[in-house]
Structure 1
Amino acid sequence: MPSTAHITAIGTAVPDHDIHHAFIDWARARLPESRSAKIFDRMAGRAGIGHRWSVLPIGDDGGSPVDAGGFYARNLLPGTAERMQLYARFAPALSLAAIDALRAQVPLDGITHLVVASCTGFVAPGIDQIVAARLGLDPSVERLLVGFMGCYAAVAALRSARHIVRSDPDARVLVICVELSTLHLQDTPALEPLLAMLQFGDGAAAALVTAEPHGLALGQPFATTLPDSAELIRWDITDSGFAMHLSGEVPARIAAGLSDPTFAAAATGGRAPSDIDGWAVHAGGRSILDAVETSLALPADALAASRGVLADNGNMSSATLMFVLARLLAGPPIREGVALAFGPGLAAEGFGFRSAA
């Protein structure tokens, strides 16, 4: 029988520059109509987000990236090339900070495989090669880079690690998710994209996946797609960064999908919600968490870990789910868990998990 793969531990890291409230002030000033500004203020107040962190340096006057002297304090925002230069500098550094947090929990000797997920930048040699070199990993370490999948990329990364361990019980897989969403600020007077940008922050997470029976045992992965929804979540690569399109229809479409027993079963790996005592739902936004909670008739505290990550960090794209799993790892044992994330497609991907025996 194949070995059971386990997430032994997870380390997380965020930058030390909180940009959430500075962004709110900046975004409000771009809305030309008082009605739009009032809607934005109401949605910002209801977002359930207290902090979002950025790798962008503090401005010359000590302010945020949108203040005088900051990265975005110019009439024409930086081009994609300039943003990618910062990605190449900061993504490896934040990844290594998450690895340091992981190393404080478990030894990281004997790494055989490295899986890295990221959708907010491109660089070659890749983040996987840069991190491997800085860690001094053996050149024989097998590497996999999962790129541009969006918020459910953590599922793909952990799923790949599970496959590796099940085929090679001696494998020790280092999994990294790193996202620098704040590199992609767009100057727009439109309400919907400003509300989308309101959600996103920077963060990195690193996990060790092995056959050792510690932490969370990874179960069967699953995936499904909502029909006629491909345009609801989209990244467009432009000359001034990556433009996120996150439709306001997304929460309602997720709610409608989860109200369909067939889709709900596919989005939970066939598990009945009442049988699940551990929920790791990607914190894509308060309204998305509300849609999952209401549609599946979950207890009020079922998504506490996800809401806590959203409040403290915002949506960090692929890294977010790892932050949620880290909170569950630190909590009571889980008999039957489900990890679930939504992203471009509109797809739902996830896997079952439980606490190791």
Structure 2
Amino acid sequence: MSFINAIGTAVPENCFPQKQIAEFMASALQMDEYEQRKLKALYRSTKINQRYSVLSDYGKSFSEYEFYPQTPDLEPFPSISQRMLAYKQYALPLCLKAIADLGELPNITHVITVSCTGMYAPGLDIEIISSLGLSTNIQRTAINFMGCYGAFNGLKMADTICKANAEAKVLLVCVELCTLHFQKKMDEDFLLSNALFADGAAAVLIEATPTEEVQSLAMKSFFCDLYFEGKNDMAWQVADFGFEMTLTSYIPKLVKSGIKALTDKLFTSSGITKQDISLYAIHPGGKAILEAIETALEISATDNRYAYQVLGNYGNMSSATVLFVLKEILKDTENIHKNQNILSCAFGPGLTLESMILTIV
């Protein structure tokens, strides 16, 4: 078995109320009064209070923009190369901030990086090793372009490593700069994506034995499934002006129809039942998705409170988000106790459904 012994998180310095972001979007899209009212209603319905971005422009007037052109319509719109240069500039410092939040590190043997919002080589894995002065013979794995469920693949990789090597000390780092990929389109999918996504990073220390100083999370079992009928409803494409997210309103219905079967298979493989679950760490992909999961699993919004806390305070930070939820659980020391089981789920392109059981030790 392997154990999550520490979780560190980080967000950029630029924090914007959801209302302020809606005003930026309405201005950039040059909306009329009726369109603005609809957009602001959409933003209110997300239940997101604030989001973070590596870009300061979302809180400025167009004459003060630093990343986007200082024009009312943002033309010429930033190219993919400009966005990737910004990713390279901002991703590493955010990763290092999340790693610092872990506290003192042991002798790291493996580094796993997860990201779907930017790529370059030599990449983040090498830059993290260089910045931290880690051994140059550390084994490295990069998990890219998987979307919101990417952290699960990082955790599964770390779990496999620790089971094979009892001395392994795995550093997993997820970083997503979603706000670099704002799309200036009026399609419903893009309006919804612009209303949900944000920037953040999370770092996790995984080892073959639990720590004695603080509570750890034992990773007991995983289960993944694909629902091909949703492959056109959630997608992530590289386009000329950034990465384009397809996120249709049908996704909550698909998740609702698939999550019960997924968790039933997870419970069977784990040898436990739903009654053995005390806590929930659901990826907050959006309010509608959380509500669909609650209906399918017959749980309450109170059961799902950690996901709502993260959604409200940070928005959807893609792969890093579920790790923020797990950290919120670990912080709630009054309500978590040894041997409680946690059900965690995330979703992404495919349509991919990921799930795992963790136990507090």
Q: TM-score, normalised by structure 2?
A: 0.90
Residue in 2 aligned with 1:189?
A: 186
Matched ranges for 1:1-357 at <5 A = 4-19=1-16, 20-29=18-27, 30=29, 32=31, 36-57=35-56, 63-64=59-60, 68-73=64-69, 74-103=74-103, 107-214=104-211, 215-258=216-259, 261-266=260-265, 272-331=273-332, 332-333=336-337, 335-356=340-361
Q: Which has the higher helix share?
A: 2
Structure 2: distance between partners of 1:315 and 1:216:
23
Structure 2: distance between partners of 1:288 and 1:65:
33
Determine if contact 2:266/2:356 at 8 Å carries over to the other structure: no
Instruction: Quote how far apart the aligned CAs of 1:134 are.
Output: 0.5
Unaligned runs of 5+ in 2: none
DSSP-derived class of the 1:102 partner? coil
Sort the Cα spacing of 1:337 and 1:209 in 2 relative to 1 into closer, same or farther, 3 A: same
Sort the Cα spacing of 1:267 and 1:235 in 2 relative to 1 into closer, same or farther, 3 A: farther
The one-letter amino acid of 2:67's match is F
Instruction: Quote how far apart the aligned CAs of 1:188 are.
Output: 1.1
Structure 2: distance between partners of 1:346 and 1:194:
20
Structure 2: distance between partners of 1:65 and 1:318:
30
Q: TM-score, normalised by structure 1?
A: 0.91
Structure 2: distance between partners of 1:67 and 1:46:
30
Instruction: Quote how far apart the aligned CAs of 1:186 are.
Output: 0.9
Query: Deviations for 1:132-152, whole angstroms, at most 9, x for unmatched residues?
Result: 110111011101000000000
Structure 2: distance between partners of 1:137 and 1:176:
15
The one-letter amino acid of 1:295's match is A
Segment of structure 1 superposing worse, 32-41 or 166-175: 32-41
Structure 1: distance between partners of 2:248 and 2:255:
12
Instruction: Quote how far apart the aligned CAs of 1:39 are.
Output: 3.5
Instruction: Quote how far apart the aligned CAs of 1:159 are.
Output: 0.8
Instruction: Quote how far apart the aligned CAs of 1:109 are.
Output: 2.6
Instruction: Quote how far apart the aligned CAs of 1:275 are.
Output: 2.6
Instruction: Quote how far apart the aligned CAs of 1:268 are.
Output: 6.0
Sort the Cα spacing of 1:64 and 1:209 in 2 relative to 1 into closer, same or farther, 3 A: farther
Structure 2: distance between partners of 1:129 and 1:307:
34
Percent of paired sites with the same residue:
34
Determine if contact 2:224/2:262 at 8 Å carries over to the other structure: no
Determine if contact 2:52/2:199 at 8 Å carries over to the other structure: yes
RMSD over aligned Cα atoms: 2.0
Structure 1: distance between partners of 2:207 and 2:62:
43
The one-letter amino acid of 2:20's match is A
Instruction: Quote how far apart the aligned CAs of 1:351 are.
Output: 1.3
Instruction: Quote how far apart the aligned CAs of 1:198 are.
Output: 0.7
The one-letter amino acid of 2:68's match is Y
Structure 1: distance between partners of 2:170 and 2:351:
29
Structure 2: distance between partners of 1:10 and 1:325:
8
Determine if contact 1:336/1:352 at 8 Å carries over to the other structure: yes
Structure 2: distance between partners of 1:117 and 1:7:
16
Determine if contact 2:115/2:174 at 8 Å carries over to the other structure: yes
Instruction: Quote how far apart the aligned CAs of 1:13 are.
Output: 0.3
Structure 2: distance between partners of 1:267 and 1:51:
34
The one-letter amino acid of 1:21's match is K
Structure 1: distance between partners of 2:308 and 2:267:
19
DSSP-derived class of the 2:196 partner? coil
Question: What number of residue pairs does the alignment pair up?
Answer: 345
Determine if contact 2:222/2:266 at 8 Å carries over to the other structure: no
Structure 2: distance between partners of 1:187 and 1:269:
45
Segment of structure 1 superposing worse, 282-291 or 225-234: 225-234
Sort the Cα spacing of 1:84 and 1:267 in 2 relative to 1 into closer, same or farther, 3 A: farther
The one-letter amino acid of 2:111's match is L
DSSP-derived class of the 1:283 partner? coil
Structure 1: distance between partners of 2:262 and 2:147:
21
Structure 2: distance between partners of 1:136 and 1:352:
34
Determine if contact 1:120/1:180 at 8 Å carries over to the other structure: yes
Instruction: Quote how far apart the aligned CAs of 1:89 are.
Output: 1.2
DSSP-derived class of the 2:179 partner? helix
